[in-house]
Amino acid sequence: MWIRHAAILSAVSGKSETTRAAWQTLLEPLRAEPARTAILTDFDGTLAPIVEHTEDASLPDGARDLLVRLTERYALVGAISGRRTADVRALIGLDTIAYAGNHGLELMMPGDREVSPDPSLAGREGDAAEFVATVEAGRLDEAGLRIEDKGPIQAIHWRGVADEAAAEAAARVIAVDAGRAGLEPRWGRKVLELRPVGGGGKDAAVASLLASDGLDRVVYAGDDRTDVDAFRRLGELREAGELVAAVRVGVLSAEGPPQIAEEADVTVDDPAGWLEMLAWLAE
């Protein structure tokens, strides 16, 4: 049995009891069976607000303590992020939750000391970095494009530059060149990511994390294109009867793709709305 209910939540004070009751109804099957439930979340734009420079991101006040409480109650808590696993783990600061970094190309289960890379990338880990090294530095600087080295993924950012439209246009030219070089360009919120073709994906990450025996209920929250992949995989697992309950929480933004609202079971206006849900689950 599963429940689908499209509800628009407000992350400001004064929410109606009807709206609150709607998402509580969706999440109640999870709270009722914590030993069979996974709590999964994206990081940037979902658990924490988007910032102009990725290195400036941080958890909101109280979020870490909230995650600790969730790990004490639920079978699995995990962060699925576009950041490298080591980076998002350092930001969250807990070794009691699972991490799927680089959009699922890396996995680290609770208690693990080492990151497990996707074996499909063997021998291709440096392809994206080698391509980026061929792009003229002046071409990047002129457009205001910033490179973030994430190992197998190279991210090109333009948030906050003087002319974001021109920077995005330059990134689109680079994306075409990267595709011709055998890489896979993926777009996010004011970022272009270049990666080897195949492997990973947040859809594969959620499936891997839910493969543990006894997990048949899950909530996952995200705000960007790769989160849509996870939403769709969870919908498939739910339709196939492999999950008793799967709640997909879309965190809305003016930059986010429309598919977030279309594929989500419930939406919130910003990370504060998602944190409110997590606080209720932790009670």
State the CATH number of the domain containing residue 161: 3.30.70.1020
Gap between the Cα atoms of 69 and 13, Å rounded: 23
> Does residue 219 fall inside a structural domain?
yes
pLDDT of 121 reads 83
Measured CA to CA, the distance from residue 203 to residue 280 in angstroms comes to 26
In this predicted model, which residue has the larger pLDDT, 15 or 128? 128
215 and 94 assigned to the same domain: yes
pLDDT of residue 92: 97
Q: Which residues form the domain of 155?
A: 121-196
Do 15 and 81 fall into the same domain? yes
| pLDDT score of 9 | 37
For residue 34, being part of any structural domain is answered with yes
- Tens-digit pLDDT profile for residues 77-109: 999 999 999 999 999 999 999 999 998 999 999
pLDDT at 3: 35
Domain shared by 112 and 223, yes or no: yes
Q: For 134-184, write each residue's pLDDT tens digit.
A: 998 888 999 999 999 989 989 999 999 999 999 999 999 999 999 999 999
Are 26 and 39 contained in the same domain?
yes
* 187-236 per-position pLDDT tens digit: 988 999 998 987 778 999 999 999 988 999 999 999 999 999 999 999 99
Q: Compute the average pLDDT of residues 252-270.
A: 94
pLDDT of residue 120: 83
**119: phi then psi, degrees, rounded to nearest 5:** -65, -20
Interatomic CA distance for residues 143 and 131, integer angstroms:
18
Domain match, 107 and 128 both: no
Residue 138 lies in a domain: yes
What pLDDT digit, counting tens, does each position of 7-42 carry? 333 333 333 344 888 999 999 999 999 999 999 999
Q: How far is CA 246 from CA 28, 220, 235, in A?
A: 11, 8, 7
Which of 196, 227, 258 is the endpoint of a domain? 196
Question: What is the pLDDT at residue 20?
Answer: 85
Number of domains in the chain: 2
